[in-house]
Structure 1
Amino acid sequence: MKTNRIYTTRLQAGLGLISETKQLLSLWTEGMSTSELTKYALGLGVFSNISSRRLKNIVVEGFAPRYLVKDDYPAKFLKQLSSSLSTRAFSQILFIFTCRANPILFDFVCEMYWTAYAAGSEILTNEQARNWIQRAIENGRTTKPWSESTVIRVARYLTGACADFGLLEDVSKDNRRIIPFRVLDEVAVFLAYDLHFSGLGDNSVLSHPDWGLFGLTRDDVLAELKRLALQDWFIVQSGGGAVRIGWQYNSMEEVVDVLARG
């Protein structure tokens, strides 16, 4: 399911930024502003290989829109999970928030990656990404038409971000191989509770577009949650088209504490 938001070039601030995000989370404390985080990181010299301007851009345009969405959310949870989850699981959670902050990446994954995967394609090319962007521009998904050079650049951002998060791998300069991408248990638990505590009802959780980032339909999600219920994360009752989920934890803090303990 696609988003209805306008597409931007914000990915130019950084693609996956996985290692940078881990470093920034290790420095960040609750209540810290983007300017304070940038200044603190510069003072410690942990990003000595990049310029101060580049670091500021990463924090303001990359880190903050993804992980400082509201009242330190989700950074406060990610900081706790960064050293306890596997690299793959943590990266998948970063993938969710990166796609939420970048609708163009969200829709590219759902429309291009998963369509190609379902069709049995082995390769996703930058040319395919460029053509997809051109169609989006024609359909009014940008505030104004993009130049050809911008289209080419953003196409590379999209396939590059997918590679960073483990959906694609390099074959050549303009071609990337499609890699099977399955949501991990810890990530499915995190996402389900994240949606639940955002105020959604059980059926809305099951049918939320975020699951499409992992190629999951509503029925797929229901099957996943039933399986995870065997691990006592939920109680799932379904029958006659109705679904009721018993949520075993009362806050996201509780969920994250359990996930962090492994």
Structure 2
Amino acid sequence: DVVAFRWLAAQQAPDFRSIARFRKRHLSSLGNVFLQALELCRAAGMVSLGQVALDGTKVRANASRRKAMSYARLTEKQKVLADEVSALLADADAIDDAEDARFGKDKRGDELPPELARRESRLVKLAEARAGLEADAAVRARKEAEKKARDKGDDDDIAAQKGDDAAKNAVVRPKAQRNFTDPDSRIMKTADGSFHYAYNAQAIVDADHQIIVATTLTNIGVDVEQVVPLVEKLHATTGVLPRQVLADAGYCSATNLDYAKTVEDGSDGRTEFFIATGRVKHGERVPEVPRGR
């Protein structure tokens, strides 16, 4: 909403579909533009990668909570619609037979009645939503099983086998939901404490001039899973690791602390991670460090 741009464009604005098509058509090129801009900032001395901070924010999706359905409700609704479609097909066959007897064969249109077409299209959407929830459950079960296996000391082959078994036997939570407007979005708790369909936008920012050096968008609501992929993305983009990585308590986990130690040891101490292990409430005083006698 910059007035200067609105004036230059004579109040004309591209339709959101045009923007989406442009982004889809030039996705790889847009990634290179970000990389080129980052290189320019580094050349200008605006990015030192001395100290970087990792944080995220929830971006609300253009999806209504009323346009969603739980797995249990999906299963129930599928059965109801399937019965309705069968009944409508039976009625259509009866009408066809009656018309054939009255007017002769091949004297009718082939299009589906609107009521039947509408129910069949809804049945397809329900099936797609249910399949999506089942796929999500399989992925989640696979990740959890592989993590447990590796924590027990199993090698990669055994962990992968256990992951496959868990994925095959994954059970979808009855209350797990899928949105029909934006199936990729997920219910997340936003900053105001309410829950909305949203995405989790993550970024690593260089402390010198607040330049974004790595970013990603995910539909995983918690931040804790983003430390490793974002730091690795930063390393792949710039070719170097920062000297200090700052993150709040939302990123603290045993896995991330182990990863931080691995990176620190591998860099001979040139890279340090500072991940908060807890939160301090507003107005709360941090207890002083005990002193020796």
Provide the TM-score with structure 1 as the length reference: 0.26
Kindly indicate which of the two structures has a greater share of residues assigned to helix: 1
Kindly indicate which of the two structures has a greater share of residues assigned to strand: 2
Provide the TM-score with structure 2 as the length reference: 0.24
Decide which structure has the larger Cα Rg and report it.
Answer: 2
